[in-house]
Amino acid sequence: MSFKVLLKKDWKQVSLLWMLLVFLGIVAYTLPVWTQMQSFDEQVREIQANPEEFAEWYGDNVTNPSVEELFSPEYSYFIGDLQTLIPYGGVIFLYIIFGFLMASVLIGSERNSQMSDFAMSLPFNRNQLYISKWLIGTSGIIVSSLLGGPLMLWIIHSSRYSFLMEGHGLKVAGLVGFMLLTGIAVFSLALWMGSFGGEAVSQVLWSVVALLFPVGILLLIQGSIFSVTQNTSGVYELFERAIESVFLRVISPLANLFNVDTFNMFTDNTVWENFMTVAMISALSFIVLSFGLGLWMFNRAPQENNGRFFMFTNWLWLVHVIMVVCFAMLGGIILANLSYPTNSILYVVGFVIGGFLAHLLAKRLLYRLNLKLKS
C-alpha cells in the first residue's frame, strides 16, 4: 500500500486545523504590522501637529521633520523601530497552540476513538505512521510561514516606513526562519508526548509540562534556595548562566526563546551572529532530538494502555516522585513568600502540604484514571 494513503488518512484528521493554522498564520504575520503602522501614523501626526510639545526631545528639528528624522535613534523620543513591527510573540504563541492541538488530534484523538487500533492494523510499521503525522503537522507550519513571512516583508517594504528595513532584510528573514523552526520544534515535542499520554487531553497536558519542565525545574530550585536561605548572593548569576547555556537551549525551546534578543538584533552585529549560530542551531538540534526520541518512544508505546493518563506503567513511580517533589517545592515557595522576608519554616510547611496534595493527585491521575474510549 502506498505511503500516500497514510498521508491522506492523517490529512483527513487534521485538515480543518491545518487550514485554520495557515489562515491564522497569515493574519498573525500581517495584521499586527498594519495595526502598528497605524499607531506610527497617529504619533507622527501628533508630533507634526504639535511640535512645541515635543521640542524637549527633538529640539529645533521638530519644526519641520521628515518621517525618517522622527525615527532617528539620536533623539530620545521613541516612536518605534523595526523590532516593534515584527509580530514575533504573536506568531510563536500561535504555533505553540496549534502545535499542541494538531499533535493531540493526530495521536491522542486516534486513541480516544480507538482509530489507533485500526491504524496499527494497516500494512505500515510504526515508523511510517509517526513520520506521516510529523510531515502533515510540519507542513502546515511551513506553509503558513512561507505565505505569511514574505507578505509581512512586502507590507513593510511598500509602506512609508520601508526605511526601517534598509540593510535589515536578511535579519528579518532570519527571524521568520527562526519562528518557523520554533513552531516545528514545539509540534515535534507535542507529537513526542503522544507516546506518553493515552488520550488527547493527557497528551496536551504532558506537552505543556515538557515545554515548561527544564526551565521550570531551575526556577523551582532557585526559588527554594532563596526561600530557605534568603541569600541571593551568587544564586541569580548561577541560574542565569544555566538558563543561557547552550545545553539548556538545545533541550528546551522555551529557554531558546528566552535567550533571543530581538531588541538589539537589528543594531548589534554580535547579537545577530549569536542568533544565527546558537539560536538557529539549538532549534534545529531540538527538532532532530525530539523527532528521534518521538519515533523511538512511539515504537514502544503500549497500545493496550490507551486511555490512561500515562501509558508506561513501569515508569509510574518515577513520574509520581517528580510530581510530588515539584509541587512540594512550588507549595513551599508560595507559602514562604507570604511573609517578608521569606520564612524557612513556612517553606517547610508549604513543602509538606504541596507534596501531600501532589501525592493524592498523582494517585488519582496515574493509577486510577482510565478514561472511557469511544467505540
Alpha carbon 215 to its chain's center? 12
Residues 286 and 322 in one domain: no
Instruction: Please give the Cα distance from 7 to 122 (Å, whole number).
Output: 13
To which residue does cell 510547611 refer? 349
Q: Give phi and psi for 3, each to the nearest 5.
A: -65, -25
* Contacts (Cβ under 8 Å, ≥6 apart) of 271: 261, 264, 265
Q: What is the DSSP secondary structure assignment for residue 311, as one 8-state letter?
A: S
Q: What is the pLDDT of residue 317?
A: 92
Residues 300 and 359 in one domain: no
Q: Establish if 221 belongs to a structural domain.
A: no
pLDDT in tens, 90-139: 999 999 999 999 999 999 888 877 777 677 777 889 899 999 999 999 99
HEC profile of 214-274: HHHHHHHHHHHHHHHHCCCCCHHHHHHHHHHCHHHHHHCHHHHHHCCCCCCCCCCHHHHHH
Q: Establish if 364 belongs to a structural domain.
A: yes
Residues 17 and 128 in one domain: yes
Q: What is the pLDDT of residue 5?
A: 87
Which of 304, 328, 363 lies at the terminal end of a domain, its last residue? 304
Q: Establish if 226 belongs to a structural domain.
A: no
- The b-or-e profile of 220-256 (16+ CB within 10 A means b, else e) is bebbbebbbeeeeeeeeeebeebbeeeebbbbbbbbb
Residues 330 and 282 in one domain: no
Residues 276 and 340 in one domain: no
Which of 304, 325, 352 lies at the terminal end of a domain, its last residue? 304
CB 42 within 8 A of CB 32: no
CA dihedral of 49, 50, 51, 56, whole degrees rounded to 10: -150
Q: What is the pLDDT of residue 306?
A: 83
Q: Reduced to 3 DSSP states, what percent helix, strand and coil does the chain have, rounded to the nearest 5?
A: 80, 0, 20
The answer to whether the predicted template modeling score (pTM) of the entire model surpasses 0.85 is yes
pLDDT in tens, 198-252: 888 999 999 999 999 999 999 999 899 888 887 766 677 888 888 899 999 999 9
Residues 297 and 172 in one domain: yes
Residues 138 and 186 in one domain: yes
Distances in whole angstroms, Cα of residue 214 to Cα of each of 79, 220, 259, 286, 311:
37, 10, 14, 13, 22
Residues 270 and 325 in one domain: no
Q: Establish if 185 belongs to a structural domain.
A: yes
Q: What is the pLDDT of residue 55?
A: 65
What is the span of the domain harbouring residue 350?
312-375
Confidence of residue 373 (pLDDT cuts 50, 70, 90): very low
Instruction: Please give the Cα distance from 147 to 270 (Å, whole number).
Output: 30
Residues 98 and 146 in one domain: yes
Question: 50-59, 153-162, 258-267, 302-311: which has the minimum mean pLDDT?
Answer: 50-59
pLDDT in tens, 4-25: 888 998 999 999 999 999 999 9
Type of residue found at 366: L
Instruction: Please give the Cα distance from 301 to 295 (Å, whole number).
Output: 10
Residues 201 and 334 in one domain: no
Count of domains observed in the chain: 2
Q: Establish if 129 belongs to a structural domain.
A: yes
Q: What is the pLDDT of residue 338?
A: 85
Q: Establish if 259 belongs to a structural domain.
A: no
Instruction: Please give the Cα distance from 177 to 184 (Å, whole number).
Output: 11
Q: Establish if 317 belongs to a structural domain.
A: yes
- The answer on pLDDT for 366 being more than 90 is no
Q: What is the largest CA-CA distance in the chain?
A: 78
Residues 289 and 330 in one domain: no
Residues 281 and 329 in one domain: no
What value does the mean pLDDT take over residues 23-50? 90
Distances in whole angstroms, Cα of residue 13 to Cα of each of 110, 138, 198, 224, 283:
9, 15, 18, 44, 27
Which of 244, 274, 304 lies at the terminal end of a domain, its last residue? 304
Confidence of residue 292 (pLDDT cuts 50, 70, 90): very high
Q: Establish if 229 belongs to a structural domain.
A: no
